[in-house]
Structure formats: structure tokens, C-alpha cells
Amino acid sequence: MLKIFQRLWQVNWAEQWQYRANLIMYLLYWLVSPIIYLAVWTSIAATKGDVNGFTANDFITYYMTLLIVDQITSNIVIHTFAYKIQDGTLSGELIRPIHPMLTNALVNNIAFKGLTIMGLVPIWIILFFLFKPDFGNLALSGILLAIPAMIVGFFIGFLLSAAITALAFWTTRIYSLYEFYYALHLLFSGQFVPLTLMPKLIQDIAQYLPFQLLIYFPIQLILGKLSSAQIVQGYVTAGVWLLISIAFFKWVWREGVKRYSAVGA
Amino acid sequence: MSPETILVEHLSKTYQVPEREGGFGAAVRSFFKRKYKEVKAVQQINFKITQGEIVGFLGPNGAGKTTTLKMLSGLLHPTAGKATVLGFTPWELKTDYLLTMTLVMGQRNRLSWDIPAADSFLLNQAIYRLSDDDYKRNYKELDDLLELEPLMKKPVRNLSLGERMKCEIAAGLLHRPKVLFLDEPTIGLDITGQARIREFLREYNKRTGATILLTSHYMADVTALCERIIIIHHGQLKYDGGIGDLSRKIAPFKLIGIRLAEANSHDLSKYGTPVQNEEDWEKQYIQVKAEDVTRVTSGLLADLPVHDITITDPPIEDVIEQAFNQ
């Protein structure tokens, strides 16, 4: 199995490398909104002194951390997989003795991530000198705690997206559904605004949803803003959502494959 | 395990195809209530294939050949009926089943277009759990038969159609499958390319004792490789037996195409049955019995100012249509 993943990595890395120009464009597109939030909130906080206790530096460190965390936990599986179900190119992969989603698509996403992170590094350094964040109370323990949280967060996001992608076995119009899922993600993950600045109701809902596990929870871990009780609660929620997303994906996939119509040649 | 490698019992597949009329009103109505049409692609077919057989699977377009192959390889779940291949139910997609069979269809299947075939081959080595020795031995065998080596280093998208087909077939056979489902393995290839693939399949079957079920548009593929033919038409099994019996059953005929010196339209019906050929407007075509070909041809050449004349086998679809549609 290790050898399979190793060879899958070689192939997918080479493939992604072929499309590096496309990848840079994607990265720039993806960078636009967090950088706008960063700029807008920083200038508001700078003129008012703070926003609900969030200073300009708090916003800068939050969004600078978000750039890295989001890049690690996000996935593009719907864009690289849904069309295969719709146009029948999945056929070749479906009859290989490995799971198309949990091996090839997974490695493909990670390879994509590897390259975009490489592209992100210089941009992040430029932003660092531009905004001069003060990561004053950054601690190694926070970063070490955030690493498993980000890995689990990535798998939760990947499996949920994969399950939505697999709905393409039923209907060819899954992109609007995914847009809706992504809107929920924007609202409840802490991508728009740090969740503490959201209305109480949204915060209460968000802590039971999976989305904050991909963004808000790891960021707060890194920045050392959570109490031990909050850390434990976050990890328990992550564990529960990991199990839910595994079960959900497995069910959708099993039922979906029965409906596969293998269109095209 | 049953002695039959492939066992098919009452296998049926019905597709639900959404349909609506054109126009805005119909579009709005279909938003609320979709209408579906049932298409019976395969209806209650039965057959058995024993180990080592090469069987040709024939039928006109839309007859259900590909649907049947997709069910037997596990891609499609049937609507009703049973099938076992090597003792497995294909659509359960058990790993042990997938390790011992192959399905080759179309052009884009096992190879990634962006990287050289060599990389995809190495990936297949890992996926099919081949040791380095087995991989080298199998690759060498395929290379001997198909001359792959010069193609391996180029990105697949830069290969010609024939080169790509060779690589696709080789990629599908690296793991030495015991059962091969081949959908149009020679489509798009020139005559030499077709002959080479045929030669290869025969040799592979001889060396490994693999069971092969193949569909083809070319009668030559089938006559060269298969002793047994299964014909389906409109989803139903129409014939299952030796190729010799089949040619006796089908009155063999040929197509004669001629181009005349002066612009077209001579009444040729006294020489044979006129047929339309949409791909070739320049010629007029008539269909004649095989034994009459010489006589009719010399008659045509003597009577008419013939510029160009061709004698060909009719398309396989037409032959089957004629034999089984009466």
C-alpha cells in the first residue's frame, strides 16, 4: 500500500507540475478575499482603536495565520473529480483495484496543496514585511497542537466534499449544492471574520458544525488563544466529525456507485 | 468455482433516460415533474464462456454490447439477472476480482495524458501489486509483441492514436489478467495496426490461456480471432455459436462502388441492389452476392464508362441487420 501511495504521489506531482501556471493563477485568485478582509478590518481597527477588543494586530495575525491554515485544510476534490462521474472518465479508475477517491483523488489533492504552499511562501513573506504582524505570544506548543488539528480538519473537509462530489452519481448538477456548502463554510468557519466577532447565535451553532475545525480552531490553537477546556472540546468535536464524515462518505459512495452509468465510450 | 469462466443468466439492464420536448413550457414542466423513458439496453441474455475461449461479441450500434461488457467488468449494476466471472459477482468490485480481469475500452482509460506512459506503467505495477521481477517479465513480453519501448518516454498526449491504443492495451495487460473484456480494441487503427493487435491477442491467449470477450466493428477482427460468436441485437441474444455456421446463415455479399466518367446517376439496379453510402457521395454503391461479384464487375466494366471501382465487405452492422431483422 505504501508503494501505491508513493507511485501515486510521483504521478500526481508530475501532473500538477505540468499545470503550475494554472496553479499560480488559482493561488492568486484564492488570495484575493483573505487579503481584502485583512486590509479592510485592519484599517477599521486602526481608526477605531479596536473592534470588540480585536486590535489591528489581532486582525493581521489572524488573517496571516488563516492564509496558511486554509491552504493546508482546504481541498479541490469537486473540481478534480465530479466531471469524471459525469462524463464517464471514472470508468478506468473504478475498475482498478484501489479506491478512486481515497487513493488517487486524495493524493492528487495533497500534491496540489504541496505546490500551492510552495507558491504561497514568497507571497506570505512579502505580506509579512508589508503588514509587520506581531506574533508576540506565539508558542511552539500551540503550533504542535495545531498540526494534528489541521490534519484531521483536512480529512473532515475532504470527506465531506468527496461525499458531495459523489452526489454526482445521482444528479449532474451538484455545483450549486456545493456552492451552498461553501457558503456555510464561509459563514461558520471563521473565514469571513473571526468567529468571536460574529453574533452569539452564530458562534453557538458554529461550535457544533465541522467548518470551524478547518479554520477557526487551528488558528486559535496556533495563536494560543484557547483554554485547555476549549482545546479538549475542539478535539472531541473533531473526532466526532471525523467519524461522521467517514460514515457519510462511505454510504454515499456505496449507494452512488450502484447508480453509475458509465456513459461515454 | 464453476467450470465456466463467465456465466451470464437472465442479465438485463434498463436505463431511465429523462426526456422532454423542446421549448420553454416543456422546460418549466420538466422542472417539476420529470418524464423518464425506459430504454431496455440488455434483455434477459444468457451465455457461458469457458476458460481460454476467444469470443466475438457482435451487434449493431446500440445493440447492448458495451452495456454487457460494462456489467461483466463491474462498472454497471444490472437491473435484473446474474453474472459471475471467475466466481465473482463483477459489480461488487472486489479487489481480488479487479486484480485478475481487465477492461480495455476507448482511448483514455489507464494512462494519464500529461505524463509519459512509463510513469503510468510503474503506477500500475504498484496498484496491481506486481513484484519487480514479475513486472519486468510481463513488460518484456508486451514489449516483444507490441514494440512499446520507443513510446514509453513521450507524454501520452503526444502519441498517435495507434501508439496510444498499443500503450492502453499494454497498460491493461501488465498484470496478466485471466479475463479480458475488450471493447473495440482496434478502432481507429490502420490495417497494419489492426493486424498487429489481432496477432498480439492471439499470442497472448495462447501463452496465458486467458479468456477473451471482444466487441469489434471489423468483421476481420472477429474472423481472425474468434471461433465463437455471440450476436445481440436490440438487447436480445440472437445467435451464439461457431463462426462457420454463422457465415452459412448469413448470405455473404459484397459492396461494389463505382464512379462513372460522366456525372453520376446511372440506373444500376439491373446489376444489384443499390445502397446509399452517406460517407461517399462520389460513388454509387450496389450490393451483390459474393459469388456474383466477378460476373457483375466485368459486366459493369464492359457496359459503362467506369472511372473507379471498389469491392468491399459491407459493414458488420448491415450484415447483422439483414440476417436478423427479417
* B68 lies within 8 A of chain A by CB: no
Paired strand residues for B45: B11
Nearest partner of A60 among A78, A38, A79, A43, judged by Cα:
A38
With a cut of 70, which residues of chain A have pLDDT below it? 264-265
CA–CA distance, B299 with B303 (Å, rounded to integer):
6
User: Which of B123, B164, B181 to substitute to test the interface with A, most A CBs within 10 Å?
Assistant: B123
**A172, B17, B36 from A88: Cα distances, Å:** 12, 16, 21
* A94 lies within 8 A of chain B by CB: yes
| Residue ranges matching CATH 3.30.70 in chain B | 251-324
pLDDT value of position A199: 92
Task: Give the pLDDT means over successive 10-residue stretches in chain B (326 positions).
Answer: 82 84 74 79 94 90 88 94 96 95 79 88 94 94 88 90 87 94 83 85 92 84 87 89 76 81 72 77 82 88 86 74 67
* Portion 232-261 of A in contact with B at CB < 8 A: 257-261
pLDDT value of position B76: 93
- Report chain A residues whose CB lies below 8 A from the CB of B187: none
CA–CA min distance B321, chain A (Å) = 22
* B99 lies within 8 A of chain A by CB: yes
Closest CB from A4, A6, A95 relative to B103: A95
Task: Give me the total of CB pairs closer than 8 Å, taking one residue from chain A and one from chain B.
Answer: 74
pTM: 0.86
Condensed to tens digits (0 to 9), the pLDDT of residues B30-86 reads: 667 777 888 899 999 999 999 999 999 988 778 888 899 999 999 999 999 999 999
Closest CB from A10, A89, A261 relative to B119: A10
pLDDT value of position B278: 67
pLDDT value of position B265: 65
Closest CB from A4, A92, A95 relative to B126: A4
* Portion 136-165 of A in contact with B at CB < 8 A: none
The fold for domain B251-324 equals: Alpha-Beta Plaits (3.30.70)
CB contact under 8 A, B126 and A3: yes
Long-range contacts of B272-280 (CB under 8 A, 24+ apart): B272/B296
pLDDT value of position B325: 65
What is the CA B22 to chain-centroid distance, rounded? 34
- Report chain A residues whose CB lies below 8 A from the CB of B31: none
- Report chain A residues whose CB lies below 8 A from the CB of B15: 261
CB contact under 8 A, A97 and B127: yes
Q: What is this model's ipTM?
A: 0.84
CA–CA min distance A34, chain B (Å) = 32
Residue B204: helix, strand or coil by DSSP?
Answer: helix
Instruction: Give me the count of residues in chain B.
Output: 326
Instruction: Give me the count of residues in chain A.
Output: 265
Which amino acid appears at position B86 of this protein?
L
- Report chain A residues whose CB lies below 8 A from the CB of B99: 97
pLDDT value of position B1: 45
CB contact under 8 A, B105 and A91: yes
CB contact under 8 A, B123 and A10: yes
**DSSP string spanning A153-220?**
HHHHHHHHHHHHHHGGGT-S--HHHHHHHHHHHHHHHTSSS-GGGS-HHHHHHHTTSSGGGTTHHHHH
Cβ atoms within 10 Å, residue A115: 18
User: Any idea where the domains of chain A sit in the sequence?
Assistant: 2-259
Cβ atoms within 10 Å, residue A59: 27
CA–CA distance, B223 with B212 (Å, rounded to integer):
14
pLDDT value of position B306: 85
| Residue ranges matching CATH 3.40.50.300 in chain B | 4-9+45-248
CB contact under 8 A, A95 and B122: no
Placement of cell 479592510 in the chain? A40
Cβ atoms within 10 Å, residue B145: 20
- CATH of B4-9+45-248, picked from 3.40.50.300, 3.30.70.20, 3.30.70.1710, 3.40.50.2300, is 3.40.50.300
CB contact under 8 A, A7 and B123: yes
